[in-house]
Structures are given as structure tokens and as C-alpha cells.
Amino acid sequence: MFAGCKPAQRQAGTSQAIPVGVYLSFTGSTATFGESTFKGIQLAVEEINAKGGINGRQIEIHKEDDRSDAQEARSAVTKLIQRDKVVAVIGEVASSRSLAAAPICQENRIPMISPSSTNPKVTQVGDYIFRVCFIDPFQGTVVATFAYQTLKVRRAAILTDVKNDYSVGLAQYFKETFTRLGGQIVAEKSYSEGDPDFRAQLTAIKAANPEVIFVPGYYSEVGTIARQARELGITVPFLGGDGWDSPKLVEGAGDALEGSYFSNHYSHESTDPVVQEFVRKFKARYNGEVPDALAALGYDAANILFDAIKRAGSAEPSKIRDALAQTKDFPGVTGKITIDEQRNARKPAVILQVRGKEFKYVQTIQP
């Protein structure tokens, strides 16, 4: 797709709205990822347009649903670039879908900002691909260090979703750090996103007698995994990454994840005034809903893009790209954001604990 195509021509006029594309999973297995992220983006757009837009031009959002599917992500981005003539694209959450769509943005020289794809390979696609989240080598290190130093466990099992680049990468970085610290991986098992039954893998894990089980998957399976583990008599806590962050996590798990931990990009409980102001505005806009990390990252991704357009003094994609690359100490909701030479964001992570239906703040870990 798009092989040999010239970059789509953008209109360079100054009076019309600035078209920005958004592709996310509004339906399918990880629909809450798209819904939450878009609420953050929408809030940022409404705020900037209410202030008169950028250089006198309103932001106009064109959105596409990729249905939680990598091939659909390619189609969605193609439509945004070719049909809607967007000057930049925000998306995706899942790394496999960002990796599917990024080459199209790169080939057409349209800046793409992923709010929350953490696999390192995403920004390695090319110099038009950015992210505003930390990456998995850091996240895997954070969780492994927390397990070893804070929980003081020495025996861990890993259950990986082999269908997703995110899960495979995060499992690898957890394993590297945990073993380097002196821990032992006593079992490594796998599943594929969409699987309904994990009892065979969990039975093997139980026999290996771990003190903790690391499941770097998406919320859509983690709840079921935890529930089936408890039915088999496994009592040790689970650990996870930011893919757990969804209100549906506890829905699927019941109380099976009570006391378990996962790494994330921010906590709404933070006392930082930037965070509290965002939480206040989000709750006012969305009927009291508390924003999760995906909403916060969507908000940050949109605002970093708008800041870059403003600094570029232009809606030309190449100038937006250059301005994005120069982003330094941007006061984001998820932390101060500086885009490094690899177009990744250097920033802290937080550890949260599942308590009841809430994710309670435990600690912050700096890069």
C-alpha cells in the first residue's frame, strides 16, 4: 500500500481549519483504549478552539475506527492522509497497530504521534514518527525492579500475549532486568489475544511455584487469566504494565486481581497542580468520569501537536515535524515531556495497586 506514491499534497492556505487525523480502536477487543484516548484529545481540541485556535485557524478532527485490528489501522491512516488531507495524525494505543500504520505516515511525510504505544520499534520506523509515552525497556525495568526491591520476590513466572508486539517486548525487558538483579524466571508461558481459556498455561505456572506472575497483556484477557488462576488455587499477586489500564479490568477479574500491581503513565491521585486541573476539567466535561492514563496521554499528545504547530508558525507537515522534534520540557499531565533524538519521551512511570474498583497510587519511578 502506498508504494511509490508521492507524499499527499496539503493545502497551505491560512484561512481554513487545520485538519488533524485520529485513528484509534473505538470498537473491538480494546475499545476502551480508543474511547478514553479520544476523550482526552477532544478536550484538548475544544480548549484550543475556544481560545481562537492556532494562528487564527480552528483545529478540525477527522477520526477513524480501526476496530482493534492492525490491518484496519493501515486502512484508517490511508483514508485520513489521502481523502481527508490531514497534516498530522494521532494514534495508536496498541503498538502492533501503530507499527502497521506508521510506515504509511512516514512514506507520506505526515507526522504521527502515538499517545501510548510503548514498543521501541514504533518510532524506529522513521523520522516522522513520535510518541509522548515512555518505552518498554524502561517500563519492563520499572516493574522488575519493583518486584525485586519493593515486593522482595525472587521467583517470577511470565505469561505473554504472543500476538502483540507490546506484550512480547515488555516480557523480554522484565525478564532481562529481573534476572540481572538476581531473580529467577521459573516459568514462561504464552497465549494469543482473544483466547478464552488459560488453564493449561496456569496449571504449568502453578507447578513452578512462583512468588509473582507477570502478565504484560491487555485488560481484555488479564481479568479472565486472573479469575481462572484463582479457581486453580493460585494465590500469588499478578504484575502488569499499562495495558491493564481500563475500567473493564476489574469487571473481567472480579476480586481476582485485588492487591495486584501494574505500571502506568500517571495517577489521577497526584497532587501536581497540572494533574489536578486536568482531572477537574475532564470530570466537568464527561459527567464526573475520572480520567485514566490513556485519556491523559491523548490530551498530552494533542497539546504537544498544537504546541508544535504554533511554534512552527505553519501547518506544513515538514515544519510540524521539525517543531515536534524540538519539544523540550513540555508541561504535560503525564509529566514534563522532552522528545529525545529517537523521538521518544523521557519521563517517569508510576506503580498502581488494584484495590476494589480503583487503581491506587503506590510510587513514582524516575527514568
pLDDT at residue 98 tops 80 = yes
Q: What is the 8-class DSSP label of residue 260?
A: -
- pLDDT tens-digit profile of 302-338? 999 999 999 999 999 999 999 999 999 999 999 999 9
Per-residue pLDDT, averaged over 56-81, amounts to 98
Quickly name the fold that domain 18-134+271-347 has: Rossmann fold (3.40.50)
Q: What's residue 367's pLDDT? A: 83
- pLDDT band of 15, cuts 50, 70, 90: low
Cα separation, 86 vs 344, whole angstroms:
22
Reduced to 3 states (helix: H, G, I; strand: E, B; else coil), residue 258 is coil
pLDDT at residue 13 tops 60 = no
- Percentage of the chain lying above the pLDDT 70 cut: 96
Cα separation, 86 vs 337, whole angstroms:
24
312 and 319 Cβ atoms separated by less than 8 Å: yes
- pLDDT band of 131, cuts 50, 70, 90: very high
Per-residue pLDDT, averaged over 64-93, amounts to 98
171 and 214 Cβ atoms separated by less than 8 Å: yes
How far, in Å, are 148, 223, 261 from residue 168 at the CA level? 21, 19, 19
Cα separation, 1 vs 75, whole angstroms:
9
DSSP string, 294-332: HHHHHHHHHHHHHHHHHHHTS--HHHHHHHHHT--SEEE
Domain with CATH 3.40.50.2300 in the chain: 18-134+271-347, 136-264
What grid cell was written down for 149? Answer: 526491591
DSSP string, 93-160: SSHHHHHHHHHHHHHTT--EEESS---GGGGGG-TTEEESS--HHHHHHHHHHIIIIIS---EEEEEE
- pLDDT band of 3, cuts 50, 70, 90: very low
Q: What is the 8-class DSSP label of residue 65?
A: E
Cα separation, 246 vs 262, whole angstroms:
12
The reply to whether CATH 3.40.50.2300 applies to domain 136-264 is yes
- pLDDT tens-digit profile of 101-127? 999 999 999 999 999 999 999 999 999
Q: What's residue 1's pLDDT? A: 33
What grid cell was written down for 212? Answer: 509473582
How far, in Å, are 12, 14, 48 from residue 17 at the CA level? 11, 8, 13
